[in-house]
Structure 1
Amino acid sequence: MSKVTDQVAAELDPEPAPLLQVEHLSIDLPGPAGPVRVVDDVSFTVAAGRTTGLIGESGSGKTMTASAIIGLPPPGAAVTGRLLWHGDDMVTMAEQDRRRLRGRGIAMIFQDPQAALDPTQTIGRQVGEILRRGGMPAKEVRRTVIDLLDRVGIPDPQTRHAQYPHQYSGGLRQRAMVATALAGSPELILADEPTTALDVTVQARILALLRRVRDEEDTAMLLVSHDLRVMAHVADEVVVMYAGRICEVGSGREVLNSPAHPYTRALVVSVPAVRSRTAIAEPLPGSPASPAERPSGCPFHPRCAKAQDRCASEVPRMRQVAAGRQVACHFPEET
């Protein structure tokens, strides 16, 4: 195809603008010796109908990034950078506008549904809260809630909507959280470790449900997880984080099949089922770097088998190593 034809095709079918653009996001938390930077200069985008995965070990900054996006950072957190929602910066947005956006524009599925659900309120009342706030009549709220519970696979929703969280299993509570997120018809769902406390069979069902929601509703999803097997099943794009920084970005298939950053590779080979059922696990050596005591240079260098003198003194910058692939490493793997 000629350059002219390419240009005409691009003009006829332009790339859609991303729903969310995270630009140079940094988050500082108060500490005994002064502010601690737990998220450092993070940038990525999330597009409609796509699932972007944030992955990394505990303490990498994944959940903190999601909390800033939903507008619920920890008390005392200082958030800088830009969070562009359809071009409007949520960092500088008035709180009342953020509240209106929360639930309808952006919804969140929390990691622990038992902690997130109010034990004194019925499931139906909690799922329907955003509908009542929007002025929907009570009878219509009830019908909509029952329909939502049915859509997410909760059996006998006509009865179950009047039950309390303690009457639901762990898998059903997580489905109720998905229904709560869907109630506001959001454009973006943030899912924070949505399958962590569930057994393998229930995990598979929840992941299938999230994929179906994304496909049927054309909903964007930002999935936070430390589990590469989850990402391999769901994520279209993957953002790998370590010690509060991004170390690799690319399509889920490419990043997990041919990781460019030594940290990503170490994660992949530590979970053989991601690539091969017969591979032998290679445990990731050492402990994750603490943001409060982040090593100089590349924060992964104390655990990296490829580290050289430059890695200990110079912070690697993000650079493109292939189409749609970026990595922050002085000596990336061949892709």
Structure 2
Amino acid sequence: MGEPLTAPRATTAAPLLRADGLTVDLPAPGGGEPVRVVDGVTFDVPAGTTVGLIGESGSGKTMTALAVIGLLPERAATGGELAWRGENLLRPGTDWHRVRGHEIAMIFQDPLAALNPSLTIGRQVGEILRRAGRPRAEVRRAVADLLDRVGVPDPVRRMDAYPHELSGGLRQRAMIALALAGSPSLLLADEPTTALDVTVQARILRLLRSIQQEQGLAMLLVSHDLRVVAHVADEAVVMYAGRVAERGPAGATLRRPAHPYTRALVASVPAVRTRTALADPLPGAPATPANRPSGCAFHPRCSLARDRCRIEVPRTREVEPGRWSACHFAEEVIGS
């Protein structure tokens, strides 16, 4: 995808969103003890920045994002704090109708599944505007403007199309327009380019970055693809088996990992490490919250694992200014 779209930006602003010890428990299939699928996750999303949630399938990335927007399964139980502009969203009585769509909006991985197949694109994009009581003609103009802003050609005609009548790239652009309709301050993007070919992926990522910069939005980007995170994220949060392995500035995290899991992820994607290096696939199968090993969850796959790693869960600690790692031997990882 070429060079990063922009250099990572430092910020000292108070975060729009702060997760502090966030936990999510889901009922176990067939009964039994609930499964902690998100376990003590902590990170900040400052205004105007992109934070990338990185990890393999089952690492807890999407569940974390769904907690942020209040779309967890009905029987999910949450703990810790999820502060939006200082207000804990996890407290009883949160007005999700005020938050969802208006302040925080989500771009889903598969727009064909997320969009209603029986409603036109224009009707779906304009729904939040109609609920606000805006006149029908005004809503149509606003929807056409939104579709035009996200690069949908001939937007007036495409408003009357159904999702299946658009290409994958145009459906994703329509999904972005729908997310922008409520003028949110934070976009959650869950694998927004996974189903698209490489050329369309790059266009969608550039579109998201452009919109973010124009409107000063914050973005929480969920991805298993380090190349995507390397190109657009300011901060990286690396998750494994429902826990944060490390977090810090995206550039430093991917250049000099402070956790063996991050280092293994980077080594498995040659385009992140170098243009000529061969990929080095991760050994073994990823742990999941339902079968999380004792001690450090990554220890069965880790070449640095020692007896301590098998027994003691590593605490998350600051290993360099602004960089945090949950590895007993993080300094050794950084220096290797």
TM over 0.5: yes
Residue of structure 2 in register with 1:57 after alignment? 56
1:178 to 168, 173, 176: 176
In the aligned structure 1, how far is the partner of 2:324 from the partner of 2:57? 22
How many residue pairs end up in the alignment? 321
Residue of structure 2 in register with 1:10 after alignment? none
In the aligned structure 2, how far is the partner of 1:293 from the partner of 1:233? 33
Deviation at 1:93, TM superposition (A): 4.5
Residue of structure 1 in register with 2:250 after alignment? 252
1:24 aligns with 2:31: no
SS at match of 1:302: helix
2:323 to 322, 325, 328: 325
Deviation at 1:279, TM superposition (A): 0.5
In the aligned structure 1, how far is the partner of 2:230 from the partner of 2:13? 25
- Show the 5 A alignment for 1:104-119: 104-119=102-117
In the aligned structure 1, how far is the partner of 2:282 from the partner of 2:275? 19
Residue of structure 2 in register with 1:121 after alignment? 119
Residue of structure 1 in register with 2:213 after alignment? 215
In the aligned structure 2, how far is the partner of 1:301 from the partner of 1:236? 28
- Show the 5 A alignment for 1:234-313: 234-313=232-311
Deviation at 1:17, TM superposition (A): 1.4
Unaligned runs of 5+ in 2: 1-10
SS at match of 1:334: helix
Deviation at 1:293, TM superposition (A): 1.6
1:189 aligns with 2:192: no
Deviation at 1:100, TM superposition (A): 1.2
SS at match of 2:236: strand
Deviation at 1:98, TM superposition (A): 1.4
1:199 aligns with 2:201: no
In the aligned structure 2, how far is the partner of 1:15 from the partner of 1:331? 29
1:70 aligns with 2:96: no
Q: Percent identity?
A: 67
1:34 aligns with 2:33: yes
Residue of structure 2 in register with 1:88 after alignment? 87
CA displacement 1:22-44 (0-9 Å, x = unmatched): 11100111113211111100111
Deviation at 1:243, TM superposition (A): 0.3
SS at match of 1:126: helix
SS at match of 2:334: coil
Letter in 2 for 1:73: L
Letter in 2 for 1:334: I
Unaligned runs of 5+ in 1: 1-13
In the aligned structure 1, how far is the partner of 2:312 from the partner of 2:177? 47
**TM-score in terms of structure 2 length:** 0.94
CA RMSD between the two structures: 1.0
Deviation at 1:75, TM superposition (A): 2.3
CA displacement 1:23-77 (0-9 Å, x = unmatched): 1100111113211111100111101110000010000000000001100101211
**TM-score in terms of structure 1 length:** 0.94
Letter in 1 for 2:26: L
Structure 1 moving runs of 4+ over 4 Å: none
Deviation at 1:238, TM superposition (A): 0.3
